[in-house]
Structure 1
Amino acid sequence: MKNKLRSIFSSFLSAVLLVALLTVGMSSAAAEEETADASVKGSLVIIGGGLETGNAEIYNKMIELAGGKQDAVIGIFPTASASMSSSRSMKQDFEDYGVPAENVRIIEITEKNYKDQVNNDEIVEAISECTALYFVGGDQSRVTKAFYNEDGSNSKALDAVWDVYRKGGLVAGSSAGAAIMSDPMILNATSLEALQKGVTYDEQKPGLWVTKGLGFFEAGITDQHFSKRGRLGRLVVALVHEKINYGFGIDENSAMVVSGDEIEVIGASGMFLVDASKADFTKKGAYLGIDVSYLEKGDRYNFATKEFTVHSSKTLIRPGQEYYEGNELNTNIFGSDAAKTALLDDLMDNTAKEARGLTFALDQKNGKGSGFSVVFSKTAQTKGYYDSDEYASTALHVNMDIIPIEVQVKELEHMPKK
């Protein structure tokens, strides 16, 4: 009898264990599926500002990633702007590119009303109905002030934007709408100011203001209006002082399209990729060993594998094929398009091994000042490419050093007294 009872108990225990194991297995599978679902993300179109209405490539890419002309539902946030005019213009642009008017909506979270709007369930529902969300330009600090609660937590509106993104929707933005894509985000300083004064975490103090962004782009810091406003120096400062390896500087009327781990550059100009992973910041204030690359239309970069894919229409610039022989010192290296010209014309399509530039500020009374020498140099890994018109348009793995200098202007002759 005892043996029989033991047999029955043993069978019962086996059955319980089997059910438990199956339950654990099912729970684990469900947990893995839930985790996978949570990590699924849509796409980003990060525009460097100055988006022109005629840039069909960027508009059509946004519409495509939003689901196509008939299915796209696009919500526009005017938050960064001081007025509604840019949002209305974007709405009209999307309509002109074929999205039905009723499917393009301005979601009115503004500097004046955000406290009432960002945790409003009707606003959350309006966001949730969208397949794409677009942040206009202006002041990026208005966006973060609005979308984060006072205690730093996500507002319901921000959670709704993340939900759209995770489910496969598009998040896009231009200018300030590009700056908010990373976390941290940067603003409020020129390259020279950032190099001279460093980083600040208080917008009322001088220096490069580093603060919390929305963080949709997780591979590094984004910056915009990049070549036109000479922002290469300030991005280097942000990366080194924040101990972040990669920075992405997008030119005007151009965009980086982020899908999965890959970035594609589209539009009229290009994107700087700054690799500070091996940078050395010296006691005397020099930034050494910065790896700089510049990509243009059709070029791709995978930030997981760190691999570049240059567009198939481009050809490698081989030694002896360069158009230019030698270059001159650029005395305003962070001026409009100066760094891009230094990389492409003064180095890639040039027999020279280095391209040098200066940035400085002077006291007009005594002609003395301080600044930095910027040196771009070829390495064993450096490669340049011609586009189909045989202009240099891509530069990979150029070394950049930024070295402090003192400047003094001396007149050879004094002006005669009147």
Structure 2
Amino acid sequence: MKTLNLWKTSSIVLVTLAASLMSTASLAACRTSETEPNNSDTAANTGVCSGVTITGSISSSTDYDWYKLDVSAAGPINITLSHGTGIDLDWYLYPATGSYVSYKSTSNNPETGSYNAPAAGTYYVRVKSYSGSGSYTLNVTFPSVGGDTTVPPIVPPITAVVTGKVWLNGGLILQENAGIFVNGLRQATGKNTSTPNINSTTNCSTDWNSTPCPRVAIITAAAVNQADGVDKFNNDTASGAWSYYNLFQRHGFSPKHILSHHDTYANNSGNSSSQGQANIAIINQADLVYVIGGDQSRLARTFLKDDGSDTPLMAAIRTRYAAGNFIYAGDSAGTAIAPSTSYGEGISIGYLNQNTIRSITPANCPYVAPASDGTPAPSCLSHPSNVDFGTKIKGFGFVPNANVDTHFDNRASRSGRLGRFIAALKNIGPNVSYGIDQNTALYINGDIATVYGTGGVYVAEATSSNFGTGTKFSASSVRLSYLTEGDSFKFSDRTITSTKPLLIGSGGVNYQFSSALNSSNIFTVDANGVGSSSATFKHMIDQTPTTSTGAAPSDTYNPLSFTLTFKRDGQTQGYKNATGSYSGPYTIKKALLDIN
């Protein structure tokens, strides 16, 4: 009892003394200089104190300096990076998992910026070279407990890849594909689930106050310009492709058109013009948005401001999504822009040779009218020094905890996308990526991602420790899975559920092939749109040998060659629906991929 009374009467003195000692000790432990190696988040320098300047040095274009911040509460994180003359260094701010949430990549010195952290947790600052090498100073201010960096961070777990419903088409969906449009996307809205007449373009009333059909706002801003977008929405083509109005009417939706494009966004993505207000009114009443394919940089330019922040039109979409019962749906470019960071252009061998990804902002994408023959201007994602290299730009953030790629193994020669898919996984940051085939969709509903359609979805899982830090790109033991229709991936615990009953190589089901399939050019795609990457990977899961390899040869534009090795271990499982001679669909769980 005396001890209790003493504690009560002395509490103010003791707390004051403890705070003083904490402050003194923490200041003594504050980091003031960079220590190598710190080339990844797992090796990040610790001991960063709010407001205490750190000196460091970048030695090359592949030298990344990482710093760990223990942010004790919601509030602003302010970053200032100063560097020597004749060089250009940039910084990126990352949460505990996922892509960066803020960055500065301008020609300014110092590079300054801020981010309003929504909650306590671990954050990372990465310093890198845009050009040149040399010394720098870094100063970060952030909410902290008396500057004490020993306080354990509060890291809220990520339990879902999205917070609501996101529908991602991989591109070139057959227009008659009711499995995706009716049994998939329309079912996901929960409205008007009766079977529509696919031969009718008047299935649904256009009066959104009375129609029982799902109300879809069609965004055609990935098109060349507004005139092209209006044409795609209203007119069937001479070759028999349906307009977007007719496509959605045939599948039982009531469509309306959002009129804001690369050439009209300054007026139509705001809230002060009559068209901007009309666009926002459509969004406020819609059950979903559907963002068509084309060029995702046009989408970024149309819906994001120069600095990457939301226009009023995008803010309206985000508000509806956050409120629930609203679906973000995309196709091709509309899918590629859905994550926090979108990447595009270039090919796999180029991404591996580049071993980084050029970064631009919407301000780098001004509208350029098509040539007199109608040819559109090159995408601003095209790399200025090598057309095979890739570029990234801020995305919409509806898939904040994963990367997404489309047309996955179906594009023309030299364009199989597995290489750029893994390179983006290293250089953008999330530790999960989805690669979606054509005529295939991935429906992400909170924690569960489910596959629809005739192709498949690659799922790659990695951390920074899976990637080499040398000048040549390398990766080791990246978990690689392949899901087909009916399969699902649970983001929170990374489990895969398959609808296919037979496990290859066990339960009395023999492997189909006795020898390995190895590819002499792993990124080629044949005339039927079948990529060597997919063919080799699927063969590996159904062959007696546990590994298959694929060569990625050098060429005129890309001097470095690579070898991709697919392999099985104790976690790997493969499923298919039939025995004997069989080509698919396979489900592949937790195989491994090395790139060297």
Query: Do the two structures share a fold, i.e. TM-score over 0.5?
Result: yes
Q: How does 1:199-218 map to 2 (within 5 A)?
A: 199-202=357-360, 203=381, 204-205=383-384, 206=386, 207-218=389-400
Which residue in 1 is equivalent to 2:139? none
SS at the partner of 1:46? strand
Task: Output the CA distance in 1 between the equivalents of 2:548 and 2:217.
Answer: 45
- Structure 2: gaps (5+ residues): 1-159, 193-211, 235-242, 271-275, 361-380, 526-530
Asked whether 1:98 is paired with 2:252, we answer yes
* Deviation for aligned residue 1:76: 0.3
Provide, for residues 32-86 of structure 1, a one-character-per-residue CA deviation record: whole Å limited to 9, x for no partner.
Answer: xxxxxxx995411101001111211110121222342333111100100122244
Task: Output the CA distance in 2 between the equivalents of 1:238 and 1:73.
Answer: 35
Which residue in 2 is equivalent to 1:400? 593
Does the Cα contact within 8 Å between 1:245 and 1:275 map onto a contact in 2? yes
Q: How does 1:240-259 map to 2 (within 5 A)?
A: 240-259=426-445
Letter in 2 for 1:87: F
Give the alignment partner of residue 339 of structure 1, picking from 512, 528, 533: 533
Q: How does 1:339-418 map to 2 (within 5 A)?
A: 339-345=533-539, 347-363=540-556, 370-388=560-578, 391=584, 393-403=586-596
Give the alignment partner of residue 305 of structure 1, picking from 493, 498, 505: 493
Task: Output the CA distance in 1 between the equivalents of 2:533 and 2:358.
Answer: 25
* Deviation for aligned residue 1:360: 1.7
Task: Output the CA distance in 2 between the equivalents of 1:282 and 1:158.
Answer: 37
Does the Cα contact within 8 Å between 1:181 and 1:214 map onto a contact in 2? yes
Give the alignment partner of residue 223 of structure 2, picking from 81, 103, 108: 81
Does the Cα contact within 8 Å between 2:576 and 2:587 map onto a contact in 1? yes
Asked whether 1:173 is paired with 2:359, we answer no
* Deviation for aligned residue 1:388: 5.0
Which residue in 2 is equivalent to 1:25? none
Give the alignment partner of residue 62 of structure 1, picking from 185, 191, 196: 185
Q: 1:66 to 1:374 in 2, by over 3 A?
A: same
Give the alignment partner of residue 146 of structure 1, picking from 293, 302, 305: 302
Q: 1:124 to 1:392 in 2, by over 3 A?
A: closer
Asked whether 1:327 is paired with 2:508, we answer no
Task: Output the CA distance in 2 between the equivalents of 1:109 and 1:262.
Answer: 32
Task: Output the CA distance in 1 between the equivalents of 2:349 and 2:434.
Answer: 19
RMSD: 2.1
Task: Output the CA distance in 2 between the equivalents of 1:139 and 1:392.
Answer: 30
Q: Which structure ranks higher in relative contact order (CA pairs < 8 Å, sequence separation ≥ 6)?
A: 1
Asked whether 1:314 is paired with 2:465, we answer no
Does the Cα contact within 8 Å between 2:484 and 2:585 map onto a contact in 1? no
Letter in 2 for 1:128: N
Instruction: List structure 1 segments (4+ residues) > 4 angstroms apart after TM superposition.
Output: none
Which residue in 1 is equivalent to 2:424? 238
Which residue in 1 is equivalent to 2:208? none
Task: Output the CA distance in 2 between the equivalents of 1:75 and 1:52.
Answer: 20
Does the Cα contact within 8 Å between 1:65 and 1:169 map onto a contact in 2? no
Provide, for residues 165-190 of structure 1, a one-character-per-residue CA deviation record: whole Å limited to 9, x for no partner.
Answer: 22211110110011011011110110
Q: Which has the higher helix share?
A: 1
Letter in 2 for 1:188: E
* Deviation for aligned residue 1:286: 1.9
Does the Cα contact within 8 Å between 1:329 and 1:355 map onto a contact in 2? yes
Asked whether 1:268 is paired with 2:454, we answer yes
Task: Output the CA distance in 1 between the equivalents of 2:303 and 2:556.
Answer: 42
Does the Cα contact within 8 Å between 2:353 and 2:559 map onto a contact in 1? no
SS at the partner of 1:351? coil
Which residue in 2 is equivalent to 1:36? none
* Deviation for aligned residue 1:282: 4.1
SS at the partner of 1:370? coil
Which residue in 1 is equivalent to 2:473? 285
Give the alignment partner of residue 50 of structure 1, picking from 172, 180, 188: 172
SS at the partner of 2:553? strand
Which residue in 2 is equivalent to 1:407? none
SS at the partner of 1:141? helix
Q: What TM-score, normalized by structure 2, do the two folds share?
A: 0.57
Does the Cα contact within 8 Å between 1:87 and 1:136 map onto a contact in 2? no
Q: 1:363 to 1:218 in 2, by over 3 A?
A: closer
Provide, for residues 18-41 of structure 1, a one-character-per-residue CA deviation record: whole Å limited to 9, x for no partner.
Answer: xxxxxxxxxxxxxxxxxxxxx995
Letter in 2 for 1:268: T
Q: What TM-score, normalized by structure 1, do the two folds share?
A: 0.81
Q: 1:363 to 1:189 in 2, by over 3 A?
A: closer
Task: Output the CA distance in 1 between the equivalents of 2:496 and 2:396.
Answer: 27
Does the Cα contact within 8 Å between 1:383 and 1:397 map onto a contact in 2? yes
Identity %: 25
SS at the partner of 2:594? strand
Does the Cα contact within 8 Å between 2:406 and 2:435 map onto a contact in 1? yes
Asked whether 1:187 is paired with 2:344, we answer yes
Letter in 2 for 1:97: H
Task: Output the CA distance in 2 between the equivalents of 1:241 and 1:152.
Answer: 19
Task: Output the CA distance in 2 between the equivalents of 1:232 and 1:66.
Answer: 32
Letter in 1 for 2:258: I
Q: 1:369 to 1:158 in 2, by over 3 A?
A: closer
Task: Output the CA distance in 2 between the equivalents of 1:259 and 1:232.
Answer: 25
- Structure 1: gaps (5+ residues): 1-38, 404-418
Does the Cα contact within 8 Å between 1:344 and 1:392 map onto a contact in 2? no
